[in-house]
A = this chain, B = another copy of it.
């Protein structure tokens, strides 16, 4: 008995084009889903590379014009994995055409852009989701379940960091293929939108809304050669972004992201301290959750290193056997599975575009606080 197809038009063939394609190509091997995702068409600006990507991943066709995906009656879902400055136009057009829309994070380059995107998908009533993949790390999903079950009690503290070190060299240029994240016109911001956005999405999912922030940002290297012009040009992005925050539930937080933390490649860490228990996690050992439970017998209290590979851990019954770890790419597969479940019912999956907008409201407040050197309230909507 064959399932109903979910025909996918993918925009973008970079790092994120690969992770999304892999997710849709593998998800049915591990999850029993109501729809069968089909890699229908890949769209990329460079025709030759679009063709190569098509062959590598088994897409049925390739195109260099994303509008053909919008116009095609065969495409059910537009998945946007292209640079940030393309998100709004494509997402709005897709929504208007009645397509389901998925978008790599951040949703827009700023909240104003995201607001327009949200208006479009909500007007069209199409299923949508932002790819904040780290919610679907099984360890992080388990953290959410523990918090929601009341295991931690009242929350006092939250802290998150996202540390990288790949832009320390002055020789690294900005702009163009693979380096558009350094070009403020394309990216919208630096680490605030790229890395802190992840931290903020997870934080609000786990710990509720953020009310106000005090931030500082820095651009350590002031000018870099631009790949598209060949000229030295001012660097417009933030290299580092740090902020203090108050959550609506009264807890206090520190957040930090940087690409100048020597020794760390993609070290996203989070810790949350509650009245009864605490949780810590990091992306470099994503298959582990650190857990401390004050209700343990006094002399036997200690941080437990949970190896999140058992069948009763979130998503893990779909994978191998206890003790055998999964990796980064699986977070996208989980998210694809959850989206397909929701989409089959005509619904969005979390984080929806509206949730993505709320994260952008925080990043906007962070950047504004850094500019104004004052505490900034976060718009609540």
Query: Cβ of B300 and Cβ of A303 under 8 Å apart?
Result: no
Q: Is A119 an interface residue (CB 8 A)?
A: no
- Nearest chain B CB to A326's CB is how many angstroms away? 4
Distance in angstroms from A52 CB to nearest chain B CB is 10
Say whether A180 faces chain B, with CB atoms less than 8 Å apart. no
Task: Indicate if the CB atoms of B320 and A252 lie closer than 8 Å.
Answer: no
CA distance A262 to B304 in the complex (A): 13
CB distance from A378 to the nearest CB of B (A): 15
Partner of A276, one of B22, B166, B262: B262
Would you call A144 an interface residue if the criterion is a C-beta within 8 Å of the partner chain's C-beta atoms?
Answer: no
Q: Say how many copies of this protein the assembly contains.
A: 4
Interface string of A213-255 (1 = CB under 8 A from B): 0111010100000000000000000001011101000101110
The residue from B22, B244, B286 contacting A242, defined by CB atoms under 8 A apart: B244
Cα–Cα, bound, A287→B243 (Å): 31
Report the stretch among A104-112, A266-274, A334-342 that lies at the interface: A266-274
Chain A interface size range: 35 or more
| A54 vs chain B, min Cβ distance (A) | 12
Q: Are B306 and A246 in contact (CB under 8 A)?
A: no
Contact with B along A277-315 (1 / 0, CB 8 A): 110000111111101111010111111111101101100
A30 to chain B, nearest CB (A): 9
24 A–B contacts, CB within 8 A, in A order: A15-B321, A21-B29, A29-B56, A156-B168, A156-B260, A156-B261, A157-B240, A166-B322, A218-B250, A218-B252, A242-B252, A243-B244, A260-B273, A263-B273, A265-B307, A265-B322, A266-B321, A287-B327, A299-B306, A299-B312, A302-B306, A325-B327, A326-B328, A373-B375
Nearest B residue (CB) for A260: B156
Is A142 interfacial (CB 8 A cutoff)?
yes
A96 within 8 A of B: no
The digit string for A35-54, where 1 denotes a CB below 8 A from any CB of B, is: 00000000000000000000
Q: Which residues of B contact A215 (CB under 8 A)?
A: 244
In the complex with contacts A159-B256, A294-B263, A28-B56 CB distance below 8 A: yes
For A330, give the chain B residue with the smallest CB separation: B327
Does A26 have its Cβ within 8 Å of any Cβ on chain B? yes
Q: A156-B261, A286-B325 are in contact. List 4 more A-B contacts (CB 8 A).
A: A29-B58, A157-B261, A214-B373, A291-B300
CA A164 – CA B310 in complex, angstroms? 13
| Cβ A310 vs Cβ B306 within 8 A | no
Alpha-carbon distance A244/B213, docked complex (angstroms): 11
| Distance between A87 CB and nearest chain B CB, rounded to angstroms | 20
